[in-house]
Amino acid sequence: MENGMYTFTNKLRNFSIILMVVGFLGLVYGFITSPDTVAEAQAMVADAHHGEGHGTGHDGAATHDAHGETAHGEQHEAAAAHGENHGEDHHGEHLLHQLQNKPWAALYVAAFFFMMIALGTLAFYAINRAAQAGWSPALFRVMEGITGYLLPGALIVFVILALSGMHYNHLFIWMDPEVVAHDKLIQGKVGFLNVPGFLFRALIYIGGWTTYRYFSRKFSLAQDQANDISNHKKNFRISAGFLVFYIVTESMMSWDWVMSIDPHWFSTLFGWYVFASMFVSGITTIALITIYLKSKGYLEKVNDSHIHDLGKFMFGISIFWTYLWFSQFMLIWYSNIPEEVTYFITRIEDYNVPFFGMLVMNFIFPLLILMNSDYKRLNYFIVMAGIVILLGHYMDVFNMIMPSAVGDQWFIGVPEIGGFLFFFGLFIFVVFKEISKAPLHAAGDPLMGESERFHY
């Protein structure tokens, strides 16, 4: 612990590697067991419905244990991409695609979720820089550590998107020329939804975010040694500029990477909704890692008022997320336009437990736990609320992606948990490695004195 440097302990390193290995095996298992032919897929579904073990996950499965073709026909209204006159054969193929998508979707949900934490933290960091916030500089190095995951995390997401573009999976049905040929709605969107443009945009988003992150980190470290505050000022300027770039690209990213999975459906506040989700996840992660480092004896300048403020943000942004979730839900529910409302009908019918469970985890739980001012100063409460909030926002991403990718064939099984563990391990590994590279105390920050004395 000399000169305030964090040492990445072997214990934590091994823990993260074990998580990655276990998660990797889970993903491999998911890919190996996914069906190759229509017959296999149909056999798998028949087995699952007659078997015992799957009862809890499949909320709606019990209703169609007869496994008649009609029952499925209804469920597939949402994925109407196949046109209206899909015959028996198309139906089996559709099921095959859903089951083949399953491990991919598990991989993608987890990859996106952890990338989103780093991106949300980067936005929070930039806001604190641009606002010249006086309370937060004591936490800057923790935030910089978390945003260190952005580059690897976003590149992994990019690779998955590129593989989708090369037709290794059917996560994005608009990438399939066969589908587009029979679909007037998607044809009208081809100007935006085409693979080269999609990947090109993705590179611009990732490039912009990581460039800002690179320079901001550089100026932040340089400020430690500097005699004047020129680095601080530069950081202020690029942060303000980045926030403009961010709010546009984050919104477009959410259309591209999440909303286009459902190419017929759109929501005009989707960008905000995804933003709220990543923002609260990022802030929660900052709080959890700060508490962890403090428990190990680091970050001696961070006091319970800093934790209190992070708790207030967790509370406030959880409510903000709910506000956006409800705004999106209520308008669509009220207007009841078929092509819009199908989004929520699929989720309420096929994803009842995760859909409403997520509301409890992301809204009611933090609302009740974090309302009391004194509780926000107790690490135990912040950790408990934080874990539930993070799992809740994993479920949020799950609910955004799974229904269109795998339909009613979802299950939180080996590949899903494996995907989560793999990226969780990678996240811990990259983030703590990054935190260990620089002093935890940003000593040169001109606002550090205010942050050290910060008390509520």
Partner 1 sequence: MSSNQVIHALYDDDDTLLSAVKSIREKKHHIEEVYTPFPVHGLDKALGLADTRISIMAFIYGCIGFSVAVLMMNYIMIEDWPQNIGGKPSFSYLENMPAFVPIMFEMTVFFAAHLMVITFYLRSRLWPFKEAENPNPLTTDDKFLVEIELLDNEKELNALLKETGAIDITTIEKKSDHE
Give min distance, CB of 13 to partner 1, in A: 44
Cβ distance to partner 1 smaller for residue 89 or 374? 374
| Largest separation between any pair of C-alpha atoms in the chain | 75
Cβ distance to partner 1 smaller for residue 295 or 373? 373
Give min distance, CB of 397 to partner 1, in A: 23
Cβ distance to partner 1 smaller for residue 273 or 423? 273
Residues shown for the chain: 456
Q: Based on C-alpha coordinates, what's the Rg of the chain? A: 23
Give min distance, CB of 455 to partner 1, in A: 9
Contact 30, 23 (CB under 8 A): no
Give min distance, CB of 336 to partner 1, in A: 7
Out of 31, 329, 365, 381, which residue is the one contacting partner 1 (CB under 8 A)? 329
Cβ distance to partner 1 smaller for residue 115 or 324? 324
Give min distance, CB of 333 to partner 1, in A: 5
CA–CA separation, 199 and 206 (whole Å): 11
CA–CA separation, 52 and 45 (whole Å): 13
Which among 45-53, 212-220, 366-374, 442-450 is the span making contact with partner 1, rule CB under 8 A?
Answer: 366-374
Contact 287, 437 (CB under 8 A): no
Cβ distance to partner 1 smaller for residue 352 or 373? 373
Out of 204, 373, 449, 453, which residue is the one contacting partner 1 (CB under 8 A)? 373
Cβ distance to partner 1 smaller for residue 214 or 326? 326
Residue 326 engages partner 1 in binding (rule: CB under 8 A) = yes
Which among 25-33, 217-225, 329-337, 388-396 is the span making contact with partner 1, rule CB under 8 A?
Answer: 329-337
Return the amino acid letter for 5: M
Residues 6+ apart with CB under 8 A from 124: 143, 279, 282, 283, 286, 313
Site for partner 1 in 331-360 (CB under 8 A): 333-336
Share in percent of the chain as helix, strand, coil (round to 5): 75, 0, 20
Give min distance, CB of 373 to partner 1, in A: 7
Contact 121, 277 (CB under 8 A): no
CA–CA separation, 321 and 426 (whole Å): 27
Rounded to the nearest 10 degrees, how much is the dihedral formed by the CA atoms of 308, 310, 312, 318? Answer: -150
Site for partner 1 in 62-101 (CB under 8 A): none
Give min distance, CB of 370 to partner 1, in A: 13
Give min distance, CB of 330 to partner 1, in A: 5
Cβ distance to partner 1 smaller for residue 351 or 420? 351
Kindly state the number of chain residues that form the binding site for partner 1, as judged by CB under 8 A: 10
CA–CA separation, 447 and 229 (whole Å): 10
| Backbone φ, ψ for residue 63 (5° rounding) | -70, -25
Q: Output the six-digit token pair for 201.
A: 């945009």
Contact 93, 72 (CB under 8 A): no
- CA 360: distance to chain centroid? 18
Cβ distance to partner 1 smaller for residue 42 or 327? 327
Q: Is the dihedral of CA 129, 134, 137, 140 positive or negative?
A: negative
Cβ distance to partner 1 smaller for residue 268 or 336? 336
**Sites of contact with partner 1 (CB under 8 A):** 326, 329-330, 333-336, 371-373
